[in-house]
Amino acid sequence: MSSPIPSTPLPGGGTIPIYGLGTWFMGEDARRRAGEVAALRLGFDLGVTLVDTAEMYGSGRAEEIVGEAIAGRRDGLFIVSKVLPENATRRGTVAACERSLKRMRTDRIDLYLLHWRGSPPLAETLEGFAALRRDGKIGAWGVSNFDTADMHELERLDGGCASNQVLYNLTRRGIEYDLLPWCRRRRIPIMAYSPIEQGRMLSHPTLAMVAARHEATPAQVALAWLLRQKDVVVIPKAADPDHVRENRAALGLRLTADDLAALDQAFPAPKRKQPLAML
């Protein structure tokens, strides 16, 4: 039986699992729907309780897939979704959340994020988040694709941000220069999306070398490198049962000091400020 998945604290109270199931690109082909639902349910069967989605994914169809997968097992799960920036006025945020709740057939979203910055003022989005919290429709709120300057501005408006979801993996380490330390000082967990760079990094010889040492796969090494940081939440997407199991098993992989040194040499940490990367 798989060991329980650790959690990391949220700044406003409560915790979030450090590993979850991503749904980006789900819901884009009706022929794959049954398999995508089954992949999420397999993840739940393996003890994964966090699922990340967004109204943007599949134009809402990913949320419908989540709704089908969580039917009958909502309690004990931690659901994350996101509002598109064009919907993020005060009223628009509330309306978007209500549409997401309907698609997922649930009464609450545990963590609701602004997907990225758009034209609506942040203050309006925060008013929408506050109204949703008062009504019990969301548990906490956060942001996605916010760089350090954005986080400074957000903090001046409201210090209640629970998480920042950004692109972070071995080949995209720019946040380590300033954004990650800034969030750590405030105990704001980072959610790392595209943790294996959509598979593009997996042919790197250093990943293969480290994987061979552990009789693991390059994807498991890439995930384990992130998972060793207990304040980083990792949300790989997998719609294939073998990949779901492979990714879940990365939680049991312990990288050595030699492994980490080899990975640092192959994928150097940033030495200067870099623009926030997005896919």
Catalytic residues: 57
Interhelix angle 218-227/257-266, nearest 10 degrees:
100
Q: Which residues of 89-122 are buried (b: 16+ CB within 10 A; e: fewer)?
A: bbebbbebbeebbebbebebbbbbbbbbbbebeb
What whole-number distance in Å separates Cα of residue 275 and Cα of residue 263?
22
* Spatial contact of 98 and 137, defined as CB atoms under 8 Å apart: yes
Identity (one letter) of the amino acid at 256? T
Contacts of 217 (CB under 8 A, 6+ apart): 211, 246
> Residue 204: beta bridge partners?
none
DSSP reduced 3-state for 92: helix
Indicate the DSSP class of residue 184. Answer: H
Placement of tokens 């950004």 in the chain: 166
> Residue 138: beta bridge partners?
109
* Nearest residue to 244 via CA among 17, 9, 21: 21
